[in-house]
Amino acid sequence: MCQVSLNVRRLQVDITEVRITLRNEEKLKAFASITFDDCFVVRGLKVINGSQGYFVSMPSRKRKDGSYQDVAHPINNEMRKKIEDKVLDAFENELNKAGAAGAATVAVKASSPSEEEGDFDLEEDAGKAGQA
């Protein structure tokens, strides 16, 4: 019989960059990409305007049965809060910059296609908005 011993240690992961692409839709307000430790990026996060304010939705794909599955997501609440805080702070900063540049710039930026959109669906997030 073989005995395996695992020495698990918790790594400190930092969010080193957040990129925001503003959208001008009823619920979807922005797409976001986050970079961890300058070496790993997750694209397709969404800033959603829910019934209780803004929240961050993780990237997901629609399954054949019509349900949705997250492609990437935090494992614990501590990391979820860290991601949400950083993304929402960057979103607010981008809104402030856009406000200073004028509403016409926001409309142009919001209507331009974004590589971050991919084939992620908003329908799933509309359901989450009511739960937030």
Q: Are strands 15-22 and 60-62 parallel, antiparallel or unpaired?
A: unpaired
Block residue for tokens 């809060």: 81
Radius of gyration over every alpha carbon of the chain, rounded to an integer in angstroms: 17
pLDDT, mean over the chain:
80
Name the nearest CA neighbour of 120 among 15, 12, 30. 30
Nearby residues of 132 by Cβ (< 8 Å), 6 or more positions away: 48, 50, 51, 52, 53, 55
Structure confidence by residue, pLDDT tens digits, 12-71: 899 999 999 999 999 999 999 999 999 999 999 999 999 999 999 999 999 999 999 999
Q: What is the pLDDT of residue 108?
A: 41
* Domain locations along the chain: 20-131
What is the pTM for the complete model shown? 0.71
Residue ranges of alpha helices (H) inside 1-132 are 77-101, 103-111, 123-131
Phi–psi pair at 76, nearest 5 degrees: -135, 165
Whole-angstrom Cα distance, residue 40 to residue 16? 10
Percent of the chain with pLDDT over 90: 63
**Domain 20-131 maps to which CATH number in 3.30.1120.40, 3.40.50.1950, 3.50.50.60, 3.40.630.30?**
3.30.1120.40
Give mean pLDDT, residues 75-88: 95
Structure confidence by residue, pLDDT tens digits, 94-126: 999 988 775 444 444 443 334 444 444 554 454
More confidently predicted of 8 and 115 = 8
